[in-house]
């Protein structure tokens, strides 16, 4: 029914995560109608993707190809002895936006998840262990998601670093700002209780 050129685009867009055929159709139709701007922007950006991005060999952050190291790791004002462990680059962006952190990062490249076939070997954990020694790291902040995958990855990392004389911390779990206690789920509320702080 639909022209081949359009179904090709629908099929291509359906590969995006969480995009079903309906959404892909909506995107495709939009791109067809406004083809000049959005479509050419996307083509251009995708074409520049491969050459423009590389991975920092120390922190595994995504960086511009014209750099050798992550700009955060390379920054003299950032504390290399404090390392926050995150799942991916967007977690780095989120933490940086808080402007509350002056240490460096280590990107795992995923979380341990048997369902998704993500095993510990696929994450940059051995590199982390080496880095702990090389950079004389004093504190590791495990900043993985508050999910089952995040928890098990955190436990795994903790085990790998056992015996090393470093402080290992995790992000606090508790009530998110703005939430009424009566609407909090049981787990969140029990974590908030466990983690209660003296005032």
Residues that bind a copy of itself (CB under 8 A): 1-6, 8-9, 11-13, 15-19, 23, 25-27, 29-32, 34-35, 37-54, 62-65, 71-72, 88-90, 92-93, 96
Q: Which is nearer to a copy of itself, 15 or 77 (CB)?
A: 15
State in angstroms the smallest separation of the CB of 59 from a copy of itself.
Answer: 12
Q: How far is the CB of 73 from a copy of itself (least distance, A)?
A: 12
The 10 Å Cβ neighbour count of residue 97 is: 9
Using a 10 angstrom Cβ sphere, with 0-12 exposed, 13-18 middle and 19 or more buried, the burial of residue 31 is middle
Residue closest to 136 by CA, chosen among 179, 165, 110 = 165
Q: Cα(43)–Cα(95) distance, rounded to whole angstroms?
A: 30
For a copy of itself, give the closer residue by CB, 49 or 177. 49
What's the full length of the chain, in residues? Answer: 199
Task: Kindly tell me which of 18 and 163 has the beta carbon lying closer to a copy of itself.
Answer: 18
> Given the complex with a copy of itself, which of 64 and 186 has the nearer CB atom?
64
Q: Are 130 and 60 in contact (CB under 8 A)?
A: no
Least distance in Å: CB of 197 to a copy of itself?
A: 30
Question: Considering the complex, what minimum distance in angstroms separates the CB of residue 191 from a copy of itself?
Answer: 24
Structure tokens at 79: 């504390």
């Amino acid at each position: 029914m639909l022209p081949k050129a359009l179904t090709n685009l629908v099929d291509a867009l359906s590969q995006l995560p969480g995009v079903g055929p309906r959404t892909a159709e909506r995107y495709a139709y939009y791109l067809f109608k406004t083809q000049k701007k959005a479509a050419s922007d996307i083509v251009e950006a995708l074409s520049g993707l491969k050459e423009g991005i590389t991975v920092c060999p120390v922190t595994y952050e995504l960086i511009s190809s014209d750099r050798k190291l992550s700009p955060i790791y390379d920054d003299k004002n950032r504390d290399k002895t404090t390392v926050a462990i995150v799942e991916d680059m967007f977690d780095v962006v989120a933490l940086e936006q808080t402007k509350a952190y002056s240490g460096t990062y280590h990107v795992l490249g995923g979380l341990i998840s048997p369902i998704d076939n993500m095993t510990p070997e696929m994450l940059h954990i051995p590199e982390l262990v080496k880095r702990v020694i090389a950079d004389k790291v004093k504190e590791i902040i495990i900043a993985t998601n508050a999910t089952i995958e995040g928890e098990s990855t955190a436990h795994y990392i903790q085990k790998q670093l056992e015996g090393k004389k470093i402080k290992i911390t995790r992000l606090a779990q508790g009530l998110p700002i703005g939430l009424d206690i009566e609407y909090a789920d049981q787990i969140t509320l029990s974590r908030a209780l466990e983690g209660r702080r003296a005032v």
